[in-house]
């Protein structure tokens, strides 16, 4: 049946009301603002938790911008961007009607340091003065001196180094206000106090089934970002991804008003959808700052030889790797480490051109230069069960390198073992599959953890896989961090990326593309480049 | 000896109604069940102790600093020697334990199986939340595959050796030869997606809405049943053929009973014992073994929770759930033995 | 008009012709005895009358008219209408012929409903009625019991009750008393007799025991190797047999009152001495004392007979003597050397591995003794087979291809094979016809002479025990109630139970049999 | 156990071949069942195909691991180009979606792994199950107690979870198919042991076992000569069921990411990944699923046949008193 009126379909006018169903694979575990590790405040979490700043809810590149949320602006830097001051909006309230104060934001940040509430991002620990050794408010009642709350609406952060991107950090849920009187430690996640448009009605089995309903005390007047059309939001998880896509494509009953925040269309489904116009119209496409790459540990032979790394870079067949993850509609070939978005300072380059499907001839030559005329045998470490670092990609790499005379042996590890191995400088494999996603759309959280020499962690989780400690690189990172002009910073991140790439410390493979199906009653689709997926705070189901 | 012995001594008048001595039997079985379960916890502790993976790091999060990881390890007592941790676990079962939520002390009453590393929920609570799901799945599918399996087994025995039997066998075996995630997904695509006869399964508690409960579980039940039925068909068929060779079957043939009642009443009855034993085993293992079905149909049951707990090295949950599934296996076998004695009065519970 | 009209019946199994061109007829209300040696095809004839061979691979030719049905041409449905309704069969082995899972009454009711379209309640009432008719006391309660709760005799009765349920015109009873001791046997035979008088049905009694036939039938048909040897009124055949084979058969029947050849005094040394043997089964409240305080001594070269009613502990005692069962209390001492013991098992079906040829089974103990050479084994086994009256060529046959009596002989051959010091024979001849029985007994005696072995001879046939034993023990409820030499026990029985046993022995003289029956009927049955 | 064992004489116990006549009879009974013969033929064919996988693929001119990116449509999720999933003279059964690897080559190589794993796992299960079941059934009280408790524990441990754990412990260099087979075998023998024990207890009370004891044979000989042949029927029936179960267990382990590792193909793995493709590229699912089905069916029919042929009574017992249709043939 054709559309009955023009309000039908994704393009129709959004209305308030109805229930939005979210069908997910992964449970929304740890629904505690201290424990969540989100980019830009997360999708479902940001319906309940407001933060000092938040991501701009807009389509495409505009969505990569950071905008004020609880705060009146993006913050005032001082002392060379080592001190950041925020003022809260007036009239903001919790779900119980009590006012939100700056002390609550301070407390919310402090409790994220508690061992009981582990899980968040590392930036607060690294940036705040005294953050590294602070055990959280349960053990240390004094609190963090580096966060000041001179009055109920003002909050001041003292950083131990210049950080021009602090407004980005302030989007994370750790910046959600939590009143000390309501804090019940690990139990808080069951009924966290809402500052956003929805409050938690029930949270079954650690986020397996979440029901959210309107928060009466939230007001659109002081929240320009969240639309909150539906009355009720029902998050169901633990579903199989194929089933989620089947349900969304069948789109019957409550599934007509359903979306998913974590499940991509698979290749087989894409193959089917490509022949079905009405279905294809219900697919949202998004880009998230993310790169999948081959990582080297130059401390391990023969990867200490740059020529070997280059040869691999020449030999790689990006189209079969892309096929392995679902073809050109689910991945774009990557030659740069930074994602191909302006916000990251994307600067195109291709130091070791491999073309679409590899340049085995050139690879052989380089390999010969490296002293391996008759080929070489390498071991590629990957995870056994992981769509992004799993055997599918590994075997595609294996097959591509075969043509260049490189025999690849696969070493598949169980996921925990794999993670332990590649993050441990002592056990790090020489050659493995890796990926990096942005904590916010900027080069900083992309390049610093991977190439900053001071971030090589010797006795814990290390992400600087090349263990690169190049004073010039370190210096440039520090310099860019000082900039509060984010556009200027982006350009310099791009340039730094290109400079590092000459060393062939990694081989970028692809940037994933998100293709997500949504139900036939879902309207007002907004997909920003920040998250790459449709924003649940914007959709309407009526 | 805590098992069953079928006495085959003829010419004997035995005035031993099958269920005599049930009390003593249950007591003996209880003791051995406790020992079995204890052994299971030791094995699981030992195995998951050796499994690679830095539990503290996994629990803390990818980008936790070494200092934080140490804090978490201390918090979870991961630095204690393994026997100490096991001892605490045992004590918790008997006497309960206390845990800090950060702001207060939470008491976990006996039998306390500890707290999940991952979600800080009490494992006992977690299990109580998931048990009804798995229980519904196991029970419902048991009924269907017993009916389906025993039915086809009977039919196969009746048509034995003929083309129709081969076809029937082939059909049921097709179920066995297909992994559950294939059958389940295909059924879902066709029945829920294309024909729209049933809703996509979504667990509705029995206490909430019995009708919806059944409708939503129908597909998972059927998928499991299609897979299990073949086994029962085979076992039933074999047992029936075995019984058909016995003298009392000849008696009823010689008294003009039709092949149908000979098979359906007399031969089938003899086949009950192996079917009961098999069903008990399957029913029990369904509690820990329906991983794939639960995953596919998004039923938040024990199996699914177990696998994800294994993936995040959440030892208390793993041990707790294995213990509970083990308990059900043991229980199911016990029930089977009693049923067996009820079904066949000659059996003496020892 | 005749009830059964058999003409030119031939039944062939895979390799054997079990019945060969047999013709006979049976009139309404008459009783025909089918006697003959073991393996002569009696059971096969019985089965053929009901068309039980249909579909089993056996080839049946000739014409069979039973109660108006042409068995050979009838459809399956017609055949089912005949079976149980107009012609009912009581099988050779009563013990396994009832379904262990259902209450006895229900099984009878089921058969009744099958043929009468009676309601559930009516069928149950009929079941109680027939159970009562066959003399099951307290039928209402017993009907709810399962077969294993019945004694052997009661089960046999239950089977007869099932046969009676539809008031058939013909009752086929295949060795209805083989497995029973004499007192119960007498009761069953009396029962058959009175049923026949009361209902006027025809009876085909299959038996190898001429004595049993003498008590119960009007006419007799003597079979041998599938063929009829002689047929006539029972009186005539028994008194003036026309055929030499019949004479042989009759001559071999052991008699309780016949003079026995004086046996040599026991001179051998003590092989085994049992003192206070006791055996309990089960524990706690459910325990059963099968054997209670039995003391006896076995000498080399002697034969100890053990008689007693079913369930009195004979088998249990025997198994303890050979060491298959450990005694709960008491001791079992032996001389300087541990005697080598063997056993002939009561149940010939279970005592042979169904998956091994009988030759292999017999060779087994020889192998255990270290004999490995194939040809020698075969020769030795062939010799043994011949001695027990079987064809050495049957080496490669499987147990199920033999008749009941033949299997029992295989068991004897196996026990003899390793030349043991002691053989416990548990009902070794109970399903053998008299001629074979005589052969086997002679064989045992001969071997006993040759090797000086000791025998324990468990049997319910008092005449046979008398014939072979030096001393006799009479068992009742686990204890030995009478123990002494044959002369003492048979000549002057002291225990009332022994006296009752002796009174129940069937006689070959139909006239005497009738007298005895009337005498017995005066007493209340004591089952 | 109440039955006392007689002292065993000084008897050497050697392996003896099945009497020739018994073997011949077995073959004769086997030959008289055409369905069994067909099934046996298929089983043999499957084994030959698995063994000759390199040869067959060489004949086709393909191998199971080479990618053919040009044979799949990258824009449409990597669905094979061409009719029927890319079936052509070069690719007899078409190619795998996404990778373009040759499906025929993967199918025949997959047979190696799937059949190998299933047979080996079943073998381990049956051997352990028989040993433990016989030991418990025949052993004295305490041995039975110990073995039965161990069996209980094994049954109560969830297979998947233990497999996940154990597979994570063993270093990745250990050959996966062997590991998977051994693990399935080692974890899942419980029900076999229970079945064997129950049968053993019933069987050992039979008089022919007692007779063997009186003959002076030791327990081992009795187990082998008197009990094993009788156990063969249930064990073979169960074993024929275990093989498909084990193939699907391997598939399930693949589903959970701990099965046989890529690029090694296995049927279970192929079916697992083909699952979602059934609409876009049905042949990808149909070929391995069909192969598995044929295997399972022929194994079962074959198992039935062997079981029947092993039992000398079978010929006469199977068809007691059923309709006359059969008689004509007999
Ligand atoms: N199923 C069978 N297959 C092959 N031969 C058989 C079968 N049943 C019986 N026979 C053979 O047929 C012959 C007659 O057997 P039948 O059972 O009728 O004897 P019987 O007279 O009843 O003997 P008994 O008194 O020992 O019971 C025997 O030689 C026996 O070996
Ligand atoms: N394995 C057993 N378990 C329990 N009770 C048994 C067992 N074997 C024998 N009995 C009991 O012991 C008693 C004696 O049995 P036994 O078999 O020795 O009798 P029998 O004299 O040989 O009888 P029959 O003449 O019927 O063979 C019976 O009451 C029987 O119930
Ligand atoms: Mg007979
Ligand atoms: Mg006895």
Measured CA distances, B116 to B309, B313, B318, B320, B323 (Å): 9, 10, 9, 10, 15
Sequence-distant (≥ 6) Cβ neighbours of residue D286 within 8 angstroms: none
Give the lowest-confidence range in A266-280, C422-436, D180-194: C422-436
Average pLDDT across chain D, whole number: 79
Asked whether the predicted pLDDT for residue C77 surpasses 60, the reply is: yes
CATH of the domain at D240: 1.10.3720.10
Among protein residues, the one whose CA lies closest to atom 28 of ligand 2 = C311
| Residue A154 pLDDT class (50, 70, 90 cuts) | very high
Count of structural domains, chain B: 1
Asked whether the predicted pLDDT for residue A264 surpasses 60, the reply is: yes
Sequence-distant (≥ 6) Cβ neighbours of residue C373 within 8 angstroms: none
Question: What confidence score (pLDDT) does residue B21 get?
Answer: 63
d(CA A226, CA A326) in angstroms, rounded, equals 33
Question: What confidence score (pLDDT) does residue D3 get?
Answer: 31
Question: What confidence score (pLDDT) does residue B11 get?
Answer: 30
**CB < 8 Å to C378, chain D:** none
Asked whether the predicted pLDDT for residue D192 surpasses 80, the reply is: yes
d(CA C108, CA C122) in angstroms, rounded, equals 12
Q: Would you say residue B177 lies in a domain?
A: yes
Nearest CB among B36, B274, B329 relative to D149 is that of: B36
The CA-based dihedral angle spanning residues A217, A223, A228, A233, taken in that order and rounded to the nearest 10 degrees: -60
| Residue A380 pLDDT class (50, 70, 90 cuts) | very high
Q: Is D280 on the interface with B (CB under 8 A)?
A: no
> ipTM of this predicted complex?
0.80
Asked whether the predicted pLDDT for residue D328 surpasses 70, the reply is: no
Question: What confidence score (pLDDT) does residue B4 get?
Answer: 34
Strands B105-108 and A406-413, by their bridges, are unpaired
* The pair of three-digit structure tokens given for residue C378, joined into one six-digit string: 């075969």
Asked whether the predicted pLDDT for residue C526 surpasses 70, the reply is: no
Specify the fold of C270-511. Answer: Rossmann fold (3.40.50)
- C441 Cα: distance to centroid of ligand 3 (angstroms): 20
Among protein residues, the one whose CA lies closest to atom 5 of ligand 1 = C401
Under a CB-based contact definition with an 8 Å cutoff, are residues A270 and D74 in contact?
no
**CB < 8 Å to B300, chain A:** 205, 208-209, 238
Q: For ligand 2, is residue B15 a contact (CB within 6 Å)?
A: no
Asked whether the predicted pLDDT for residue B5 surpasses 60, the reply is: no
Q: Would you say residue B265 lies in a domain?
A: yes
d(CA A204, CA D28) in angstroms, rounded, equals 65
Asked whether the predicted pLDDT for residue C433 surpasses 80, the reply is: no
- Interchain proximity C84–B258, CB inside 8 Å: no
- Interchain proximity A183–B192, CB inside 8 Å: no
Under a CB-based contact definition with an 8 Å cutoff, are residues C527 and C135 in contact?
yes
Q: How many CB atoms lie within 10 A of CB C329?
A: 14
Strands (E), chain B: 4-5, 97-100, 105-108, 348-349
Q: Would you say residue B256 lies in a domain?
A: yes
- Determine the distance in angstroms separating the CA of D168 from the nearest CA of chain C, rounded to an integer: 46
Strands C17-27 and C454-458, by their bridges, are unpaired
For chain B, what's the residue count? 350
Average pLDDT over residues A231-241: 92
Asked whether the predicted pLDDT for residue D231 surpasses 80, the reply is: yes
| Residue B345 pLDDT class (50, 70, 90 cuts) | low
- How does pLDDT run across A185-226, given as a tens digit for each residue? 888 998 999 999 999 999 988 888 999 999 999 999 999 999
- Interchain proximity B68–A133, CB inside 8 Å: no
Under a CB-based contact definition with an 8 Å cutoff, are residues D108 and D53 in contact?
yes
Residue with more model confidence, B208 or B16: B208
Average pLDDT over residues B273-278: 82
DSSP A412: E
Q: Would you say residue B271 lies in a domain?
A: yes
Sequence-distant (≥ 6) Cβ neighbours of residue A281 within 8 angstroms: A9, A10
Ligand 1: residue of C403, C407, C432, C435 to mutate (most ligand atoms within 8 A of CB) is: C403
* The pair of three-digit structure tokens given for residue C285, joined into one six-digit string: 């409240």
Question: What are φ and ψ of residue A124, in 5° steps?
Answer: -60, -40
| Residue D16 pLDDT class (50, 70, 90 cuts) | very low
Among protein residues, the one whose CA lies closest to atom 2 of ligand 1 = C401
Q: Is A427 on the interface with D (CB under 8 A)?
A: no
Q: How many CB atoms lie within 10 A of CB C521?
A: 12
Which of B200, B295, B318 is the best mutation test for A, with the most CBs of A within 10 A? Answer: B200
Q: Would you say residue B60 lies in a domain?
A: no
CA D229, distance to chain mean position in Å, is 19
**CB < 8 Å to B43, chain D:** 153, 157
- How does pLDDT run across C340-377, given as a tens digit for each residue? 899 988 777 778 888 888 898 899 888 888 878 888 88
- How does pLDDT run across D252-289, given as a tens digit for each residue? 887 777 778 778 888 888 888 888 888 888 888 889 88
- C313 Cα: distance to centroid of ligand 2 (angstroms): 5
- How does pLDDT run across C165-192, given as a tens digit for each residue? 888 889 998 888 776 677 777 877 888 8
**CB < 8 Å to B251, chain C:** 91, 97-99, 159, 162
Q: How many CB atoms lie within 10 A of CB C120?
A: 10
Asked whether the predicted pLDDT for residue A506 surpasses 60, the reply is: yes
Tell which phi-psi region holds residue C293, choosing left (phi > 0), alpha (psi between -120 and 50) or beta. Answer: left
Residue B169's Cβ-count burial label (10 Å; 0-12, 13-18, 19+) is buried
- Interchain proximity D268–B3, CB inside 8 Å: no
Under a CB-based contact definition with an 8 Å cutoff, are residues D30 and D306 in contact?
yes
Question: What confidence score (pLDDT) does residue D9 get?
Answer: 28
Among protein residues, the one whose CA lies closest to atom 17 of ligand 1 = C403
Measured CA distances, A142 to A154, A155, A186 (Å): 19, 17, 20
Q: Would you say residue D130 lies in a domain?
A: yes
DSSP states along A104-140: HHHHHHHHTTSGGG--S-SHHHHHBTTTTT---TTT-
CATH of the domain at B139: 1.10.3720.10
Q: Would you say residue D102 lies in a domain?
A: no
Alpha helices in B51-99 (DSSP H): 55-60, 66-75, 82-95
Asked whether the predicted pLDDT for residue A288 surpasses 70, the reply is: yes
Q: How many CB atoms lie within 10 A of CB B339?
A: 16
| Residue B173 pLDDT class (50, 70, 90 cuts) | confident
Chain A adjacent subunits, 3+ CB pairs under 8 A: B, D
Residue of C nearest to B268 (CA): C101
| Residue D20 pLDDT class (50, 70, 90 cuts) | very low
Alpha helices in chain D (DSSP H): 20-31, 34-51, 53-60, 103-138, 141-156, 159-169, 176-187, 190-204, 207-214, 219-222, 228-255, 267-274, 282-310, 314-317, 325-329
Q: For ligand 1, is residue C397 a contact (CB within 6 Å)?
A: no
- Interchain proximity D281–A271, CB inside 8 Å: yes
Asked whether the predicted pLDDT for residue C490 surpasses 50, the reply is: yes
Residue with more model confidence, A69 or D201: A69
User: Token pair 């000759």 is at which residue?
Assistant: D52
* The pair of three-digit structure tokens given for residue C377, joined into one six-digit string: 């084994």
Question: What confidence score (pLDDT) does residue A6 get?
Answer: 47
Question: What confidence score (pLDDT) does residue A339 get?
Answer: 93
Among protein residues, the one whose CA lies closest to atom 19 of ligand 1 = C39
- C345 Cα: distance to centroid of ligand 4 (angstroms): 9
Q: For ligand 2, is residue B9 a contact (CB within 6 Å)?
A: yes
Question: What confidence score (pLDDT) does residue C14 get?
Answer: 75
- Interchain proximity D261–A270, CB inside 8 Å: no
| Residue D317 pLDDT class (50, 70, 90 cuts) | very low
Give the lowest-confidence range in A98-102, A419-423, C188-192: C188-192
d(CA A153, CA A110) in angstroms, rounded, equals 18
| Residue D329 pLDDT class (50, 70, 90 cuts) | very low
Write b or e for each residue in D100-131: b if 16 or more Cβ atoms lie within 10 A of its Cβ, otherwise e: bbbbbbbbbbbbbbbbbbbbbbbbbbbebbbb
- B245 Cα: distance to centroid of ligand 4 (angstroms): 24
Chains A and C touch (3+ CB pairs under 8 A): no
Q: Would you say residue B279 lies in a domain?
A: yes
Closest of A53, A57, A56, A66 to residue A155, by C-alpha: A53
Q: What range defines the domain where residue D122 resides?
A: 110-310
Q: Is D153 on the interface with B (CB under 8 A)?
A: yes
- Determine the distance in angstroms separating the CA of B148 from the nearest CA of chain A, rounded to an integer: 26
Q: For ligand 1, is residue C16 a contact (CB within 6 Å)?
A: yes
Question: What are φ and ψ of residue A458, in 5° steps?
Answer: -85, -30
Average pLDDT over residues D27-50: 86
- Interchain proximity A119–B61, CB inside 8 Å: yes
Question: What confidence score (pLDDT) does residue D13 get?
Answer: 29
Among protein residues, the one whose CA lies closest to atom 31 of ligand 1 = C402
Strands (E), C73-134: 87-90
Nearest CB among B101, B192, B199 relative to A116 is that of: B101
- How does pLDDT run across C316-325, given as a tens digit for each residue? 899 899 888 8
**CB < 8 Å to D212, chain C:** 364
* The pair of three-digit structure tokens given for residue C205, joined into one six-digit string: 């009694």
Question: What confidence score (pLDDT) does residue C256 get?
Answer: 66
Count of structural domains, chain D: 1
Question: What confidence score (pLDDT) does residue D320 get?
Answer: 34
Give the lowest-confidence range in C148-162, C277-291, C333-347: C277-291
Q: Which long-range contacts (CB under 8 A, 24 or more apart) does A417-420 make?
A: A417/B52, A417/B53, A417/D168, A418/A381, A418/A382, A418/A383, A418/A384, A418/A386, A418/A389, A419/A383, A419/B58, A419/B62, A420/B52, A420/B53, A420/B54, A420/B57
pTM recorded for the entire structure: 0.82
Instruction: Find the ligand nearest to B348 CA.
Output: 2
* The pair of three-digit structure tokens given for residue C217, joined into one six-digit string: 């039938």
Q: Which atom of ligand 1 is nearest to the CA of C42?
A: 21
- How does pLDDT run across C80-110, given as a tens digit for each residue? 888 888 889 888 776 678 888 888 999 999 9
Q: Would you say residue B46 lies in a domain?
A: no
Q: For ligand 2, is residue C418 a contact (CB within 6 Å)?
A: no
DSSP A419: H
Q: Is C282 on the interface with D (CB under 8 A)?
A: no
d(CA B192, CA B198) in angstroms, rounded, equals 5
Instruction: Find the ligand nearest to C431 CA.
Output: 1
- Interchain proximity D289–B166, CB inside 8 Å: no
Average pLDDT across chain C, whole number: 83
Beta bridge partners of C342: C423
- C253 Cα: distance to centroid of ligand 3 (angstroms): 19
Closest of C273, C332, C266 to residue C301, by C-alpha: C266
Asked whether the predicted pLDDT for residue D54 surpasses 70, the reply is: yes
């Amino acid at each position: 049946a054709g559309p009955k009126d023009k309000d039908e379909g994704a393009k129709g006018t959004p209305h308030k009301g109805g229930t939005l169903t979210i069908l997910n694979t992964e449970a929304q575990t740890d629904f505690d603002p201290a424990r969540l590790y989100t980019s830009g405040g997360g999708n479902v979490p940001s319906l309940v938790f407001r933060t000092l700043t938040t991501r701009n809810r807009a389509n495409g590149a505009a969505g990569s911008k950071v905008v004020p949320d609880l705060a009146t602006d993006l913050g005032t830097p001082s002392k060379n961007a080592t001190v950041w001051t925020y003022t809260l909006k007036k009239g903001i309230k919790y779900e119980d009607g009590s006012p939100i104060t700056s002390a609550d934001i301070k407390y919310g940040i402090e409790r994220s340091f508690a061992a009981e509430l582990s899980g968040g991002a590392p930036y607060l620990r690294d940036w705040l003065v005294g953050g590294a050794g602070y055990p959280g408010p349960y053990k240390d009642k004094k609190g963090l001196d580096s966060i000041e709350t001179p009055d109920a609406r003002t909050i001041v952060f003292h950083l131990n180094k210049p950080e021009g991107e602090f407004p980005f950090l302030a989007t994370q849920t750790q910046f959600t206000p939590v009143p000390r009187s309501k804090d019940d430690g690990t139990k808080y996640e069951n009924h966290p106090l809402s500052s956003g448009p929805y409050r938690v009605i029930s949270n079954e089995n650690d986020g397996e089934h979440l029901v959210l309903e309107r928060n009466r005390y939230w007001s659109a007047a002081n929240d320009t970002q969240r639309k909150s059309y539906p009355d009720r939001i029902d998050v169901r998880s633990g579903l199989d991804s194929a089933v989620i896509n089947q349900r969304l494509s069948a789109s019957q009953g409550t599934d007509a008003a359903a979306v998913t925040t974590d499940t991509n269309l698979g290749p087989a489904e894409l193959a089917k959808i490509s022949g079905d116009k009405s279905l294809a119209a219900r697919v949202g496409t998004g880009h998230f700052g993310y790169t999948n790459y081959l990582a080297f540990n130059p401390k391990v032979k023969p990867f200490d030889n740059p020529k070997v790394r280059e040869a691999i870079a020449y030999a790689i067949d990006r189209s079969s790797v892309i096929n392995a993850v679902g073809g050109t509609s689910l991945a774009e070939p990557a030659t740069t480490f930074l994602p191909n978005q302006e916000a990251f300072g994307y600067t195109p380059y291709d130091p070791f051109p491999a073309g679409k499907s590899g340049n085995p001839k050139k690879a052989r030559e380089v390999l010969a230069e490296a002293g391996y005329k008759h080929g070489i045998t390498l071991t590629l470490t990957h995870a056994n069960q992981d769509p992004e670092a799993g055997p599918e990609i590994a075997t595609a790499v294996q097959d591509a390198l075969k043509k260049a005379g490189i025999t690849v042996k696969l070493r598949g590890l169980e996921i925990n073992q794999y993670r332990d191995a590649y993050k441990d400088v002592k056990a790090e494999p020489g050659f493995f599959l890796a990926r990096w996603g942005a904590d916010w759309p900027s080069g900083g959280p992309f390049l610093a953890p991977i190439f900053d020499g001071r971030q090589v962690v010797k006795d814990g989780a290390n992400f600087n896989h090349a263990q690169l400690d190049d004073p010039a690189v370190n210096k440039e990172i520090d310099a860019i961090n000082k900039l509060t002009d984010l556009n200027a910073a982006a350009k310099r991140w791009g340039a730094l990326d290109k400079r590092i790439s000459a060393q062939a410390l990694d081989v970028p493979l692809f940037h994933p593309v998100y293709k997500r199906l949504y139900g036939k009653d879902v309207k007002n689709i907004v997909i920003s480049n920040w998250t790459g997926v449709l924003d649940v705070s914007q959709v309407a189901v009526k | 000896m805590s098992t069953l012995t079928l006495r085959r001594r003829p010419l004997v008048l035995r005035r031993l109604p099958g269920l005599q001595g049930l009390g003593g039997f249950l007591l003996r079985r209880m003791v051995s069940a406790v020992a079995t379960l204890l052994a299971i916890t030791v094995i699981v502790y030992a195995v998951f102790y050796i499994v690679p993976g830095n539990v503290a790091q996994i629990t803390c999060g990818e980008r936790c600093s070494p200092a934080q990881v140490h804090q978490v390890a201390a918090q979870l007592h991961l630095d204690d020697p393994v026997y100490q941790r096991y001892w605490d676990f045992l004590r918790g079962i008997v006497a309960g334990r206390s845990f800090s939520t950060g702001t207060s002390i939470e008491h976990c009453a006996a039998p306390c199986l500890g707290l999940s590393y991952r979600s800080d929920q009490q494992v006992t609570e977690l299990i109580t939340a998931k048990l009804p799901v798995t229980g519904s799945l196991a029970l419902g599918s048991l009924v269907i595959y017993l009916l389906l399996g025993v039915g086809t087994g009977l039919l196969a025995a009746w048509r034995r050796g003929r083309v129709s039997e081969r076809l029937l066998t082939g059909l049921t075996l097709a179920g066995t030869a297909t992994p559950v995630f294939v059958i389940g997904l295909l059924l879902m695509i066709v029945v829920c997606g294309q024909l729209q006869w049933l809703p996509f399964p979504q667990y509705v508690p029995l206490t909430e809405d019995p009708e919806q409960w059944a409708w939503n579980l129908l597909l998972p039940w059927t998928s499991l049943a299609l897979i299990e039925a073949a086994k029962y068909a085979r076992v039933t068929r074999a047992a029936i053929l075995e019984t058909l060779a016995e003298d009392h079957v000849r008696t009823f043939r010689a008294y003009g009973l039709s092949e149908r009642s000979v098979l359906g009443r007399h031969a089938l009855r003899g086949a009950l014992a192996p079917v009961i034993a098999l069903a008990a085993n399957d029913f029990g293992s369904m509690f820990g073994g329906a991983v794939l079905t639960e995953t596919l149909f998004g039923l938040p049951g024990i199996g699914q929770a177990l696998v994800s707990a294994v993936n995040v090295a959440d030892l208390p949950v793993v041990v707790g759930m294995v213990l509970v599934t083990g308990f059900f296996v043991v229980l199911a076998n016990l029930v089977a033995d009693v049923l067996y004695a009820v079904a066949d009065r000659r059996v003496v519970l020892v | 008009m005749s009830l059964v009209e058999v003409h030119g019946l031939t039944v062939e199994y895979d390799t054997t012709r079990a019945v060969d061109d047999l013709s006979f007829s049976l009139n309404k209300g008459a009783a025909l005895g089918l006697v003959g040696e073991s393996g002569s095809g009696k059971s096969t004839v019985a089965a053929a009358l009901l068309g039980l061979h249909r579909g089993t691979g056996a080839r049946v030719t000739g014409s069979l008219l039973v109660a108006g049905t042409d068995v050979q041409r009838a459809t399956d449905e017609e055949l089912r209408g005949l079976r149980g309704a107009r012609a009912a069969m009581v099988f050779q082995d009563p013990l396994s012929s009832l379904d262990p899972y259902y209450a006895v009454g229900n099984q009878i009711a089921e058969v009744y409903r099958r043929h009468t379209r009676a309601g559930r309640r009516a069928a149950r009432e009929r079941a109680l009625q027939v159970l009562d008719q066959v003399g099951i006391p307290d039928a209402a309660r017993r009907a709810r019991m399962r077969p294993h709760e019945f004694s052997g005799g009661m089960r046999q009765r239950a089977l007869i009750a099932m046969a009676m349920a539809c008031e058939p015109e013909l009752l086929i009873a295949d060795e209805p008393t083989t497995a029973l001791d004499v007192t119960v046997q007498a009761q069953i035979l009396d029962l058959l007799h009175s049923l026949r008088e009361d209902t006027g049905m025809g009876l085909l009694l299959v038996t190898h025991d001429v004595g049993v036939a003498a008590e119960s039938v009007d006419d007799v048909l003597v079979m041998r190797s599938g063929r009829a040897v002689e047929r006539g009124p029972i009186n005539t055949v028994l008194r003036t047999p026309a055929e030499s084979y019949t004479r042989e058969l009759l001559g071999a029947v052991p008699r309780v009152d016949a003079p026995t050849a004086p046996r040599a005094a026991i001179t051998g040394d003590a092989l085994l001495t049992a003192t206070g043997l006791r055996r309990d089964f089960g524990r706690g409240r459910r325990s059963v004392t099968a054997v209670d305080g039995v003391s006896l001594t076995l000498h080399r070269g002697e034969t100890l007979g053990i008689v007693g009613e079913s369930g009195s502990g004979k088998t249990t005692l025997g198994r303890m003597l050979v060491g298959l069962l450990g005694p709960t209390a008491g001791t079992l001492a032996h001389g300087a050397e541990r005697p080598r013991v063997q056993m002939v098992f009561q149940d010939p079906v279970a005592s042979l591995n169904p998956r091994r040829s009988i030759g292999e089974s017999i060779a087994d103990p020889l192998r255990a003794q270290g004999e490995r050479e194939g040809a020698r084994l075969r020769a030795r086994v062939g010799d043994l087979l011949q001695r027990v009256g079987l064809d050495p060529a049957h080496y490669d046959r499987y147990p199920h291809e033999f008749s009941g009596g033949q299997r029992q002989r295989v068991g004897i051959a196996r026990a003899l094979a390793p030349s043991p010091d002691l053989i416990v024979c548990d009902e070794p001849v109970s399903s053998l016809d008299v001629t074979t029985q005589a052969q086997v007994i002679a064989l045992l005696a001969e071997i006993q002479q040759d090797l000086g072995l000791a025998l324990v001879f468990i049997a319910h046939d008092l005449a046979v025990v008398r014939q072979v034993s030096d001393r006799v023990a009479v068992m009742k409820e686990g204890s030995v109630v009478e123990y002494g030499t044959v002369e003492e026990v048979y000549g002057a029985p002291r225990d009332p139970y022994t006296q009752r046993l002796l009174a129940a022995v069937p006689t070959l003289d139909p006239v005497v049999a009738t007298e005895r029956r009337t005498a017995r009927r005066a007493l209340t049955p004591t089952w | 156990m109440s039955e006392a064992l007689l002292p065993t004489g000084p008897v050497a116990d050697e392996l003896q071949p099945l009497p020739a006549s018994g073997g011949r009879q077995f073959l004769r009974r086997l030959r008289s069942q055409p369905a069994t013969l067909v099934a046996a033929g298929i089983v043999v064919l499957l084994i030959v195909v698995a063994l000759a996988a390199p040869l067959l693929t060489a004949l086709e001119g393909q191998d199971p691991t080479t990618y053919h990116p040009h044979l799949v449509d990258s824009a449409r999720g990597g669905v094979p180009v061409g009719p029927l999933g890319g079936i052509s003279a070069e690719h007899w059964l078409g190619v795998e979606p996404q990778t373009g690897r040759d499906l025929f080559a993967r199918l025949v190589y997959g047979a190696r792994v799937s059949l190998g794993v299933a047979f080996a796992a079943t073998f381990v299960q049956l051997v352990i199950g028989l040993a433990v079941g016989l030991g418990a059934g025949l052993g004295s009280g305490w041995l039975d107690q110990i073995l039965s408790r161990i069996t209980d524990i094994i049954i109560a441990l969830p297979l998947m979870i233990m497999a996940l754990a154990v597979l994570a412990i063993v270093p990745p260099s250990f050959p996966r198919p062997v590991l998977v087979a051994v693990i399935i075998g080692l974890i899942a023998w419980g029900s076999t042991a229970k079945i064997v024990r129950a049968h053993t207890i019933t069987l050992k009370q039979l008089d022919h076992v007692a007779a063997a004891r009186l003959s002076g044979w030791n327990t081992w000989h009795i187990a082998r000569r008197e009990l094993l042949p009788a156990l063969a029927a249930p064990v073979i029936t169960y074993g024929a069921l275990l093989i498909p179960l084990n193939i699907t267990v391997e598939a399930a382990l693949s589903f959970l990411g701990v099965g046989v590792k890529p690029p090694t193909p296995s049927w279970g793995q192929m079916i697992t990944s083909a699952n979602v493709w059934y609409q876009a590229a049905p042949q990808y699912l149909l070929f391995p699923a069909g192969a598995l089905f044929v295997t399972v069916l022929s194994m079962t029919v074959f198992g039935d046949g062997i079981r029947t042929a092993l039992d000398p009574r079978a010929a006469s017992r199977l068809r007691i008193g059923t309709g006359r249709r059969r008689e004509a043939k007999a």
